[in-house]
Amino acid sequence: MRKTTIFFIVVDIFVVFCFVLFYGPYEEFRNVIVNTAMVTKSHQYIAYTFYSEETVQSILDLNKFIPVTEEIDLDDIVIDTSEKDSYDNEYDEAILTREDGNEDYKYLKVKVGKYNAHLVAIYHPEDVRLITSKSFNTGSGQETVLNMCKRYGGLVCINGGGFQDPDGWGSDIPLGYVIKDGEVIWAPDNTKQNIIGLTYDNKLLLVNATGEEAVEMGMRDGLQFGPFLIVNGESIKYTSSAGGYDRAARVAIAQRKDGVILFLATEGTHGAGPTMKEVVDTLELYGAYNAANLDGGTSSQMVINGKLVNNPKNVFGQSVTGGRRVVTGFGLIKSDD
């Protein structure tokens, strides 16, 4: 009898704990449950099991944003990445002052919201190139950013676009356009999409177009993803104070008006990481004039000098040793000239 009583007490405590966890003041936990369930599609029933349709929709509404509709003006970018005699502020100084013996890039540990992050300033935008896995749609074409970066001889690399993920294990099929050396090497259709890339003038071009149209505009290396975060100095707007796209590990690429390219990768997991607004706020501090969001979550990876500097984690918060296998990215690839 005593064992039965203890058992029911334990069950009662467990039920109360779950009730408090799901319906108490732990808003971040609630948002993680709902957003993770809704993103995975086949497990949306989990969200509706614990919460009403109104609650689920209110959480999803936190992720809505108002896109920047202004057309990009690359004439605003005048490339001069040299060190200066004076700086606008401490962030400008942090970007433009060189590390001893390194004229290619500078690595900064920063905070994005409350999360640790990795920011790299690249002084030679002409050396920022698309990197890709060895093959697409072969069944074994994915690679980690670490492996891709080593194969390309890259100094600094980040992951880039998405890929089809029908079962949660990923694939080697790019999600959208891929442009390399002025050619569209992957095009699932011929619709206008958000494309992020570098032009032959070494400027970050953010354009809603077909792959062929992007090439006609001068894009030499690019990929499809988004949203665009900053265009001509105007940042994306959000429909709530939550900052859009909930919380997750983030990766972004940006360019300052002086031409310096910024790579940013943050720590975090699905549902636990910076908001998009926090990413934008950080990029603006460091002078970003144009910027775009790249694939985040488990795919988030930054490699510097052959080392993965961030700690990618899966949806369960477990570290992914060596990083997740992806299909595209951007890298600082020194030319042979």
pTM of the predicted model as reported, rounded to 2 decimal places: 0.84
Q: Please compute the mean of the pLDDT values over residues 281-290 and round it to a whole number.
A: 98
CA angle 252, 201, 145 (to 5 degrees): 35
- The proportion of the chain whose per-residue pLDDT surpasses 90, expressed as a percent, equals 68
Write the burial class of residue 129 (CB in 10 Å: 0-12 exposed, 13-18 middle, 19+ buried): buried
The 10s digit of each residue's pLDDT in 202-230 is 999 999 999 999 999 999 999 999 999 99
Q: Which helix (H) or strand (E) is 146 found in, with range?
A: helix 145-152
Tokens 């064992």 label which residue?
A: 3
Q: Are 250 and 293 in contact (CB under 8 A)?
A: yes
Triad 100, 95, 229: Cα angle to 5°: 145
C-alpha span between 314 and 248 (Å, rounded): 11
Q: Are strands 183-186 and 178-180 parallel, antiparallel or unpaired?
A: antiparallel
More confident residue, 85 or 122: 122
The pLDDT value recorded for residue 279 is 96
H helices present in 240-293, as ranges: 276-285
Classify each residue of 305-318 as buried b or exposed e, where b means 16 or more C-beta atoms within 10 Å of its C-beta.
eeebebbbbeeeee
Q: Which parts of 229-325 fold into alpha helices (H)?
A: 276-285
